[in-house]
A and B are shown apart, each in its own frame.
Chain A
Amino acid sequence: MDLSLSTETVGDRTIVRVGGEIDVYTAPKLREQLVELVNDGSFHLVVDMEGVDFLDSTGLGVLVGGLKRVRAHEGSLRLVCNQERILKIFRITGLTKVFPIHTSVEEAVAATD
């Protein structure tokens, strides 16, 4: 399965809906999308991971890279994820301490630091 990406703007937040598998082959596509959004001035991103079937460390690297980019513009990168098998990967790498993880897009959009 390939990676699917779509974006939507809600106020000053940009929602990036990701579907499929994020691995060493598909992660560059997600990286390009995040870089493009930041270059276009979207600094508050919500990455919706609910449609993700598989995530590996390459995908984590891309998300961390995205976080660095938005932080350089005092932005934010929030994740939406309820899938235990995906959350587990964030936990074992300690990244639950790095990313705000929300249970719904609505919650992530409403969140402030």
Chain B
Amino acid sequence: MATVELRFSALPEHVRTARLVAAAVARRAGVDEAVLDEVRLAVGEACTRAVGLHQHGGISAPVRVLLIEEEKQFSIEVGDEAPHAPVRARPAGEVLGDADAESEEDEMGLAVISGLVDDVEVSAGESGGSIRMRWPTTPPAALFT
């Protein structure tokens, strides 16, 4: 079971809430302070992408965010229910040209995630997709030494 599970209506105004909750749970789980900015950005990108997929697909289901505290690692899984073909994560550093830039926001989001997070899995199928990201944590005992 997830440590914290969040479901929100696929609306842009709720993405910020998801970022704040994810960062708070990550901090508690022992994710390094220096990495929390990256957690916040990565989860925001994943949620933004899911909101876009739901809105474009006319899907009324909520976006689901699972925050999972495990031994030595913290995982975030952002799930959508949009049926889609497999996606390609753009390699970090690849230049995004100025061709049709605004429609490339989705790919830019994935580019940011793959550039930020070392351990990331993007999956997509007919019943929906998910982005799973993992970060190492410092064991609680070590925090007090």
Contact, CB under 8 Å: A24 / B48: yes
How many residue pairs link A and B with beta carbons under 8 A? The number is 81
- With an 8 A cutoff between CB atoms, is B13 at the interface? yes
Q: From the candidates B51, B98, B102, name the one contacting A24 in the complex (CB within 8 A).
A: B51
Given A57-B48, A61-B101, A68-B98, A24 contacting B12 (CB threshold 8 A)? yes
In the bound complex, residues from chain B placing their C-beta under 8 Å from that of A58 are 48, 105, 109
In the bound complex, residues from chain A placing their C-beta under 8 Å from that of B93 are 91-92, 94
In the bound complex, residues from chain B placing their C-beta under 8 Å from that of A25 are 12-13, 15-16
- Residues of B within 8 Å of A, CB-based: how many? 29
In the bound complex, residues from chain A placing their C-beta under 8 Å from that of B16 are 21, 23, 25
In the bound complex, residues from chain B placing their C-beta under 8 Å from that of A92 are 92-93, 111-112, 115-116
Given A23-B44, A56-B41, A65-B102, A93 contacting B12 (CB threshold 8 A)? no
- 13 extra interchain contacts, Cβ-Cβ under 8 A, other than A25-B13, A57-B112, A68-B101? A24-B48, A24-B52, A56-B48, A56-B109, A57-B48, A57-B109, A58-B109, A60-B105, A62-B102, A92-B112, A93-B111, A95-B96, A98-B95
